[in-house]
Copies of this chain bind each other. A is one copy, B any other.
Amino acid sequence: MYIENINSPADVKKLNIMQLNVLAEEMRHALLTRASRHGGHFGPNFGMVEAIIAMHYVFDSPKDKIVFDVSHQCYPHKMLTGRKDAYLYEEHYDDVSGYTNPNESEHDFFTVGHTSTSISLACGLAKARDLNGEDGNVIAVIGDGSLSGGEALEGLDFASELNSNMIIVANDNDMSIAENHGGLYANLKLLRETNGQAECNLFKAMNLDYIYVDKGNDIASLIEAFEKVKDTKKAVVVHINTLKGKGYAPAEQNKEKWHWHMPFDIATGESLFKDEEPDFSDASLEYLLKKMDEDKSVVAITAGTPTVMGFTADMRAKAGKQFVDVGIAEETAVALASGIAANGGKPVFGVYSSFIQRAYDQITQDVCINGNAVTFAVFAGSVYGMNDVTHLGLQDIPMLNSIPGLIYLAPVTKEDYIAMLDWSLTQNEYPVAIKVPGGRMVSTGTPVTKDFGKLDTYEITKKGSKVAILGLGTFYENAVKAADILKASHGIDATVINPYYISGIDADTLNELKKDHAVVATLEDGYLEGGFGAKIAAFYGSSDMKVLNFGIKKEFIDRYDVAEVLKDNHLTPEQIAEDIAATL
Q: Which residue of chain B lies nearest to A324 when distances are taken between CB atoms in the complex?
A: B127
Assuming A339-B128, A358-B361, is B202 touching A183 (CB within 8 A)? Answer: no
Q: Which residue of chain B lies nearest to A148 when distances are taken between CB atoms in the complex?
A: B157
CB distance from A330 to the nearest CB of B (A): 8
Is residue A112 contacting chain B, with contact meaning CB distance below 8 A? yes
Contact A120 B335 (CB under 8 A): yes
Which of A22-30, A421-429, A535-543 lines the interface with chain B? A535-543
- Give the CA-CA distance A183 to B161 in the complex, in Å: 7
Is residue A18 contacting chain B, with contact meaning CB distance below 8 A? no
Assuming A365-B390, A530-B402, is B345 touching A128 (CB within 8 A)? Answer: yes
Contact A327 B157 (CB under 8 A): yes
Query: What is the total number of residues of chain A having a CB less than 8 Å from a CB of chain B?
Result: 121
Q: Which of A121, A235, A362, A543 has the most CB of B within 10 A?
A: A121
Is residue A160 contacting chain B, with contact meaning CB distance below 8 A? yes
Copy number in this complex? Answer: 2
Which of A44-52, A129-137, A219-227, A456-464 lines the interface with chain B? A129-137
Contact B335 A121 (CB under 8 A): yes
Contact A398 B530 (CB under 8 A): yes
Assuming A343-B129, A404-B554, is B151 touching A335 (CB within 8 A)? Answer: yes
Closest 4 CB pairs between A and B? A124-B339, A150-B150, A183-B207, A120-B335
Binding site for B on A (CB under 8 A): 65, 67, 102, 109-114, 117, 120-133, 148-151, 153-161, 181-187, 199-202, 204-208, 235, 296-297, 299, 321-322, 324, 326-327, 329, 331-332, 335-345, 347, 357-358, 360-362, 364-366, 368-370, 389-390, 395, 398-399, 401-405, 519, 527-531, 533-535, 537-538, 540-543, 546-549, 554-556, 583
* Extra pairs beyond A109-B342, A184-B205 (18, CB < 8 Å): A110-B338, A120-B336, A124-B340, A124-B343, A125-B339, A128-B343, A131-B322, A150-B151, A151-B331, A158-B183, A158-B336, A160-B183, A183-B208, A187-B204, A404-B554, A529-B538, A533-B538, A537-B541
